[in-house]
Amino acid sequence: MVDLSLSEDQQAFQKIARDFLDNEVVPHRAQWDRDERVDTAIIPKLGELGFFGLTIPEEYGGLGGDYITYCIGMEELGRADSSVRGIVSVSMGLFGKIVLDHGTEAQKQEWLPGIATGEKLGCFGLTEPDTGSDAGNLRTRATRNGSDWVINGSKIFITNGSWADVCIVFARTGGPGPKGVSAFLVPTDTPGFIREEIHGKLGLRGQVTSSLTFEDVRVPDSAMVGQEGGGFKIAMNSLDKGRVSVGAGCTGIIQGCLEAVVDYSTTRKQFGRQLASFQMIQDMIAQISLDADAARLLSWRAADLIERGLPFSIEASKAKLFASEKAVDAANMAIQVFGGYGYVDEYPVQKYMRDARVMTLYEGTSQIQKLLIGRAETGVNAFL
């Protein structure tokens, strides 16, 4: 790992995180992948170590850590098992951070202590069957009824959906487009909240991904987060931070591929020589090593901007775009180095490949990131 003068606390956290994950996750990840389910006993253990509260302040039960520490945690999780990273990242990074940044004091008191310790899981209900990239045109509707809101509609591809205790649901309370969207905190045991697991995924098989249906789901006015009509900006703002997490998690995939190919190529022999002694193998290893450093630095740059309270959304898009595309490339090259062994699940590289693939899709596709970067560079909006 590149050393950019991490503080002692950051280095200590990285070591604790890696040791823990190498013992508690890495030995089981292939079986969890086959089972299409992590052993959920890992969730309270991750909570004890502080993964779910990395950037949540101590007063709400978190570690109160900085965003570079957050990136370190997400990288280590991505190196170990992206399914586990997804569980943490969505519960804390998307759900928890929304409550922290936009919630009332009562909402923070109600939800953050449980989220920060992993005792409760959150999920993020934005994507719908007909509106993925075009999130501003979502159709789920919340209608006022006395002092309550009644929600009807559906969501799809929701990480943690079937395991979560609470969901931040984005629903239309006004007219068409982004300005008509509001956000609500909805406990998943509310009558009419229906969840169904999605099976047969290419990767991220250990985490639960669900479709959600809302049939007259009634919540009080106090469930609204932020202002009426302010939900889309809350979603975009939290996705900016989520993209830093994806960038760091993908750095972990690239780093994992690097370690795997170095280990394999220095022990495996062909034509009477170490694989590592072949120039074409070194070419791939050098590329993966370079991409690990570049992905890490892009993620840390965005994290540093967050820490300093500066605009970071385009830097987050660049980190996510680069790291996710390079994670796919790294895993693909790693399989090439491993040859036939790379194609079976005795070794981790095929799992890295399958897990990496969704990273170019969720939390904004590579094309959406490019259009955001292009809009920032040119001032011309390609979404109109």
Q: Which residues are catalytic?
A: 363
- Residue closer to ligand CAA (CB basis): 136 or 226: 136
Tokens of 365: 């596709």
Report the alpha-carbon distance of residue 371 to residue 324 in Å, rounded: 16
Which of 11-19, 119-127, 276-284, 291-299 is the region at the interface with ligand CAA (rule: CB under 6 A)? 119-127
Report the alpha-carbon distance of residue 90 to residue 238 in Å, rounded: 10
Helix axes 313-338, 279-307, angle to 10 degrees: 160
Residues 292-331: x where in contact with ligand CAA by CB under 6 A, - otherwise, as a string:
---------------------x------------------
Which of 11-19, 212-220, 233-241, 326-334 is the region at the interface with ligand CAA (rule: CB under 6 A)? 233-241
Report the alpha-carbon distance of residue 178 to residue 195 in Å, rounded: 26
- Residue closer to ligand CAA (CB basis): 10 or 245: 245
Of 239, 250, 253, 359, which one interacts with ligand CAA (CB under 6 A)?
A: 239
C-alpha pair distances (Å), 120 with each of 190, 249, 352 = 15, 22, 28
Task: Please list every residue from 141 through 180 that binds ligand CAA, using CB under 6 A.
Answer: 158-159, 178
Report the alpha-carbon distance of residue 280 to residue 276 in Å, rounded: 9
Counting other chains too, the contacts that 184-188 makes at CB distance below 8 Å and 24 or more residues apart are 184/142, 184/149, 184/151, 184/219, 184/223, 184/224, 184/225, 185/99, 185/103, 185/107, 185/111, 185/219, 185/223, 185/225, 186/125, 186/151, 186/214, 186/217, 186/219, 186/223, 188/123, 188/164
- Residue closer to ligand CAA (CB basis): 233 or 268: 233
Tokens of 317: 């898009």
Which of 98-106, 271-279, 291-299, 358-366 is the region at the interface with ligand CAA (rule: CB under 6 A)? 358-366
Of 60, 111, 232, 322, which one interacts with ligand CAA (CB under 6 A)?
A: 232
- Residue closer to ligand CAA (CB basis): 178 or 187: 178
Task: Please list every residue from 121 through 140 that binds ligand CAA, using CB under 6 A.
Answer: 124, 126-127, 133, 135-136
Question: Which parts of this chain interact with ligand CAA (CB under 6 A)?
Answer: 90, 124, 126-127, 133, 135-136, 158-159, 178, 232-233, 236-237, 239-240, 313, 362-364, 368, 372, 383
